[in-house]
Amino acid sequence: MELRQLRYFVAIVDHGSLSRAARVLHIAQPALTQQLRQLEQELGAQLLHRSSQGVLSTDAGKTFYEHAQAILKQVGDARSAVAQSLHTPTGTVALGLPQSVSGALALPMLNAVRASYPEIELQLTEELSGNLIEQLKSGRINLAVLFDDGQLTAFTSTPLVEEDMMYITRSGSAYAAAGETVTLAQAARAPLILPGHQHGVRPRIEQIARSAGLSIDRVIEINSVAILKSAILADLGATILPTAPLLSEIERGTMLAHPISSPAISRTLALCASKNIPLTNAAAAVGRLVLEVTDQQCRNGHWLGAHILKR
């Protein structure tokens, strides 16, 4: 198996067509077909379904595609690590952010990397926490901001912030809090719009509710931040979330965020990297910027409810 075969296969899947991939790769289509056939013979599995409309990955092809991406990413990182110096880090760095964090960090990180390290190409991946963990393990991303639930032993981790979760409703909602704060018992009585259990905040909310002798039963489960926002604005219920994914609506006044008490709910976020895959100089530089940008966002009040942790 050769690296070029991995590149060819990834290109075919990305473009959905052997002919389009051949044009992008500047290779004759029969030669590309032959390389794909050799790859399938070596693996002993059909990787693609071919039709007149293009190609689709088989189950084996989907699995191989993820591994091929990770291998090509690590090869690129190795080349960058050799080529770059400590003073001028260059190359591509993939940073994973949970959906509930990207509102606070994504744009500030893009601006910070552009200003401090113009030779670095920052690739941001917004995913559910569980998906980010798998991508970090496989090497498909270099760094990730993850919820620290005590299960991050597979990674090197640096504490970032302790982030309060708040009771959030539409302005003028039927489920709006009567005062400045709301107890967890009061919040649990409203129909709650929450992410699924694979999202880092949901297990945390239910764990604290159980510890307080409460149950959360009336849940509308939505994993898309955009759809969750629409459901809140339609007054289908309230939510318990950090403020970051809803920050623009809170700042505009279309949503209201109330601290939760008795008990309060918070989560710890950490910057994580693989223990087994060394960071390139560029990835290490981006990691340092994550810490700087996080501290800046907290100090200037742009990350509501987030408190810097001791490192």
Structural domain for 27, as ranges: 3-67
Dist. CA 232–CA 188, nearest whole Å: 16
Q: Residue type at 16?
A: G
Write out pLDDT tens, residues 138-178.
889 999 999 998 888 889 999 999 999 999 999 999 999 98
Choose among 160, 167, 131: nearest CA to 242. Answer: 167
Q: Which residues contact 243 (CB under 8 A, 6 or more apart)?
A: 164, 166, 168, 250, 257, 303, 304, 305
Read off the tokens for 181. 């704060």
Write out pLDDT tens, residues 89-122.
888 999 999 988 998 999 999 999 999 999 999 9
Q: Which residues contact 234 (CB under 8 A, 6 or more apart)?
A: 170
pLDDT of residue 84: 61
Q: How many CA atoms lie within 13 A of 2 on its CB side?
A: 6
Same domain, 255 and 172: yes
pLDDT of residue 21: 87
pLDDT of residue 92: 92
pLDDT of residue 278: 87
Asked whether residue 55 is assigned to any structural domain, the reply reads: yes
Is residue 99 within 8 Å of residue 127, measured between CB atoms?
yes
Same domain, 243 and 198: yes
* Global model pTM greater than 0.95: no
Q: Which segments of the chain have a pLDDT < 50?
A: none
* CATH code assigned at 60: 1.10.10.10
Asked whether residue 255 is assigned to any structural domain, the reply reads: yes
* CATH code assigned at 135: 3.40.190.10
